[in-house]
Amino acid sequence: MTNICSTGLDIGFASLDYLQIGILGVIQGITELLPVSSTAHMRIVPALLGWPDPGSAFSAAMQLAALAAVVSYFWRDVRQVATGSLEAVRQRDFNNQWFILAVAIVLATIPIGIAGIALSSTLNACNSPLRGLMVIGISCVVMAVLLAIAELTCRHRRTVGEMRLRDALIVGIAQIGALIPGVSRSGSTLTAALFLNFKREEAARFSFLLGLPAIALAGLKELWVLFHAQLPAQAWAHLIFGLVIASISAFFAIWGLMRFLEKFSTWPFVIYRAVLGIFLIVAVSTGLLS
């Protein structure tokens, strides 16, 4: 492919080889489900290694790997939400906890669905200003500060069973921030859930379950866009290879995160995000990265 931006769609991944795709797949899978921003790392790692930017289309499509990991890890919850809510409708028991959670998941998806459609042309454009390293650096620092405030001021007592529809709407609005590279979908929703006084591991569970439709819709929508872009077979092979690698790494990432949050706080992520953000701001300001 001679011009990866000939259609106006950012598909830089088509110019990468399988080793590069594999490395980015591992990084994408790990960072997609940790509160550190996978999109940020998809810009930073290629920039540091001198590789082409794989593009926002690659990052969005790779969310299907996170979907596979979340569904497989939380399969019991996913099954209970599906079967429990259907049974609640059949019995007209609208106070059923699984029905309420199903409604909450739908409610939380509406804000990012509207925002994603409104910003899709900007997000997927070649050389999108939102994928600038300075934007990512600032986003990392802002989210580090917010996550730190959540750790310092919130009580961390609530469980998903105590979730109200208002909580879902707040977390859903926070999820819009994920459209900005550096913010992180898991980071924004986890932080919002912590501000609502959920336990750390329950906040992560809440974040992942509410994010399932958004992750699925974003990934499937990107596949649809890529399909109509008439990509060559080699580009599709790269994408599928990346998805497989990312799915495996994403499962281990969510497994590790849930066990970590059962015993520890999110301070390591706060520090990591702050250091990463400051590094990017300094690197761009001094011309080390562009």
Give the sign of the dihedral formed by CA 83, CA 190, CA 26, CA 15: positive
Torsion angle of C-alpha atoms 251, 26, 55, 129, degrees rounded to 10: 80
Instruction: Please say if the pLDDT value at position 248 is more than 90.
Output: yes
Q: Which residues, in sequence order, are CB contacts of 234 under 8 Å at separation 6+?
A: 14
Instruction: Please say if the pLDDT value at position 262 is more than 50.
Output: yes
Mean pLDDT of 37-53: 86
265-286 residue pLDDT tens: 999 999 999 999 999 999 999 9
140-186 residue pLDDT tens: 999 999 999 999 999 889 998 888 999 999 999 999 998 888 899 99
Mean pLDDT lowest for which of 8-12, 44-48, 76-80, 267-271? 8-12
- Please compute, for residue 169, the number of CA atoms within 13 A of its CA located in the half-sphere on the CB side: 3
- pLDDT bucket at 241, cuts 50 / 70 / 90: very high
- 63-73 and 75-91 helices cross at what angle (nearest 10)? 70
Instruction: Please say if the pLDDT value at position 4 is more than 60.
Output: no
Q: Specify the pLDDT at position 253.
A: 94
Tell which residue, 238, 143, 222, has the closest CA to residue 181.
143
65-110 residue pLDDT tens: 889 999 999 999 999 999 999 999 999 888 888 999 999 999 999 9
- pLDDT bucket at 126, cuts 50 / 70 / 90: low
- pLDDT bucket at 125, cuts 50 / 70 / 90: low
Tell which residue, 101, 116, 113, 107, has the closest CA to residue 206.
101
Q: Specify the pLDDT at position 171.
A: 95
SS (H, E, C) 19-86: HHHHHHHHHHHHHHHCCCCHHHHHHHHHHHHCCCCCCHHHHHHCHHHHHHHHHHHCHHHHHHHHHHHH
Residues recorded for the chain = 290
| Tokens linked to 67 | 């979907």
Mean pLDDT of 205-217: 90
Instruction: Please say if the pLDDT value at position 3 is more than 50.
Output: no
